[in-house]
């Protein structure tokens, strides 16, 4: 039987292995020179003034919430369809989470739903967390316009979107947001195994992010409450965490980032082949990309005509060891969030439609044309009887 195919997978070559080995042979496995270099490389890639590395995307989102001052009793609004970490970060700070419906064709936060929620709001949220689903950038200009009017901070959950652009600006430049969070989990555009990065424009925000990521400690004498000339002196000024990235991981990140253009080009070629295969097909269609967004295609998201068709495709591929995934069960459906807010699902027609119809097909740089042809043929074969019925 052919080897199993998953919806996503890392691409590791000898340059990555050599980069990690170099750190292993050095004196410092963590808190050495590689983390700073990776931060600089990523900041320059996304054209952001500041980049702060952290141990994963979840930690990055938590740091963003803490550094923006989100605390007990605040309200944070989150796009309804995402990985649970997009909402959990606000809960870690004690905030109440409310969900904003999505547009099921793009998978991203619906501007109309946000407008309606703002118009009816008794009080405005302290922050809005938007998610660039599958790498498709949200309409950030419209979101920023709505949020600026009410002084709502914007966090971009860009865990899927390293390499994406919006109006030709790289996602991560924070042109329309306070900060932007990336994940380097193995299925993402580049990997450091576990890892994350936060980018921002404000120097003071960057300072707070760094401090929270390393126990709340400041090594900058200008910030100390009790000036001290001892060379070993440092101050813990707030309660922080150990959310640091190691040098081993940063070295891998640097090597991966050097090859990002190749990764993106291969992902885009795979998506084009899916698009060509499904053009004119009434039972499956590809995710609709937002105007002025150029996706990094972390996911190959399709919308099926109904949940039965989706189940058939999932099953037929699964029988051949090809494993798709659903991104995502709407977060408000999770028992943890249901017990917090008595949610009525019909309040989120966009997220419910996505939940019924969406599926992520395999996409990663080393997926071969033969493997993709197999996937496409299996889908066509599965859809064949239903297409005849619908004609």
- Return residues touching ligand PLP (CB under 6 A): 56-58, 82-83, 85-86, 131, 157, 159-160, 183, 185, 196
**Helices (DSSP H) in the chain: which residue ranges?**
14-24, 34-46, 57-67, 85-92, 111-120, 140-148, 203-213, 247-258, 260-278, 307-319, 335-340, 349-357, 369-390
Q: Which CB, 131 or 147, lies closer to ligand PLP?
A: 131
Nearest approach, Cβ of residue 325 and ligand PLP (Å): 11
Provide the phi-psi class of 54: left if phi over 0, else alpha when psi is between -120 and 50, else beta.
Answer: beta
Q: Which CB, 107 or 125, lies closer to ligand PLP?
A: 107
- Cα gap 22→109, rounded to integer Å: 43
Nearest approach, Cβ of residue 84 and ligand PLP (Å): 8
Which residues are 302's β-sheet partners?
Answer: 286, 359
Q: Which CB, 100 or 131, lies closer to ligand PLP?
A: 131
Nearest approach, Cβ of residue 175 and ligand PLP (Å): 20
Concatenating the DSSP letter of every residue in 114-138 gives: HHHHHHH-SS--SEEEEE-GGG---
Q: Which CB, 361 or 383, lies closer to ligand PLP?
A: 361
Q: Which CB, 46 or 283, lies closer to ligand PLP?
A: 46
Q: Which CB, 289 or 299, lies closer to ligand PLP?
A: 299
- Cα gap 35→257, rounded to integer Å: 13
Strands 235-236 and 322-323: unpaired
Q: Which CB, 84 or 260, lies closer to ligand PLP?
A: 84
Concatenating the DSSP letter of every residue in 241-261 gives: -B-PPPHHHHHHHHHHHHTHH
Nearest approach, Cβ of residue 2 and ligand PLP (Å): 27
DSSP state letter for 327: S
Q: Which CB, 34 or 83, lies closer to ligand PLP?
A: 83
Nearest approach, Cβ of residue 157 and ligand PLP (Å): 5
Could you give the angle at the alpha carbon of 331 between the alpha carbons of 70 and 85, nearest 5°? 50
Nearest approach, Cβ of residue 61 and ligand PLP (Å): 6
CA 272 from chain center: how many Å?
22
Nearest approach, Cβ of residue 81 and ligand PLP (Å): 9
Nearest approach, Cβ of residue 237 and ligand PLP (Å): 26
DSSP state letter for 214: B
Could you give the angle at the alpha carbon of 320 between the alpha carbons of 316 and 321, nearest 5°? 115
> Which residue minimizes CB distance to ligand PLP?
57
């Amino acid at each position: 039987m052919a080897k199993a195919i998953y919806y996503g997978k890392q691409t590791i070559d000898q340059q990555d292995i050599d980069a990690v080995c170099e750190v292993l042979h050095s004196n410092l496995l963590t808190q050495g020179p590689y983390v700073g270099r990776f931060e600089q490389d990523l900041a320059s890639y996304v054209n952001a003034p500041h980049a702060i590395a952290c141990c994963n995307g979840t930690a990055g989102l938590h740091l963003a919430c803490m550094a923006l001052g989100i605390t007990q009793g605040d309200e944070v609004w989150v796009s309804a369809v995402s990985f649970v970490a997009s909402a959990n970060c606000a809960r870690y700070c004690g905030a109440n989470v409310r969900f904003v419906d999505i547009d099921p064709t793009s998978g991203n936060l619906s501007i109309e739903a946000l407008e309606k929620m703002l118009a009816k709001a008794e009080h405005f949220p302290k922050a809005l967390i938007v998610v660039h689903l599958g790498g498709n950038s949200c309409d950030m200009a419209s979101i920023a316009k709505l949020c600026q009017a009410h002084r709502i901070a914007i966090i971009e959950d860009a865990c899927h979107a390293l390499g994406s652009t919006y109006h030709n600006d790289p996602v991560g430049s924070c042109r329309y947001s306070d900060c932007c969070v990336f994940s380097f989990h193995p299925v993402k555009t580049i990997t450091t195994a576990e890892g994350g990065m936060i980018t921002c424009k404000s120097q003071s925000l960057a300072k707070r992010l760094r401090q929270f990521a390393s126990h709340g400690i400041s090594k900058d004498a200008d910030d100390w409450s009790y000036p001290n000339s001892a060379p070993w002196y440092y101050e813990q000024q707030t309660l922080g965490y150990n959310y640091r990235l190691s040098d081993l991981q940063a070295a891998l990140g640097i090597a991966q980032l050097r090859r990002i253009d190749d990764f993106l080009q291969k992902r885009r070629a795979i998506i084009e082949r899916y698009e060509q295969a499904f053009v004119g097909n009434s039972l499956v269609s590809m995710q609709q990309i937002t105007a002025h967004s150029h996706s990094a295609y972390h996911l190959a998201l399709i919308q099926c005509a109904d949940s039965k068709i989706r189940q058939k495709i999932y099953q037929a591929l699964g029988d051949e060891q090809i494993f798709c995934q659903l991104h995502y069960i709407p977060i408000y459906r999770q028992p943890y969030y249901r017990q917090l807010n008595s949610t009525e699902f019909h309040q989120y027609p966009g997220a419910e439609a996505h939940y019924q119809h969406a599926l992520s097909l395999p996409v990663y740089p080393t997926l071969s044309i033969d493997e993709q042809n197999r996937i496409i043929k299996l889908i066509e074969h599965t859809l064949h009887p239903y297409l005849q019925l619908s004609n």
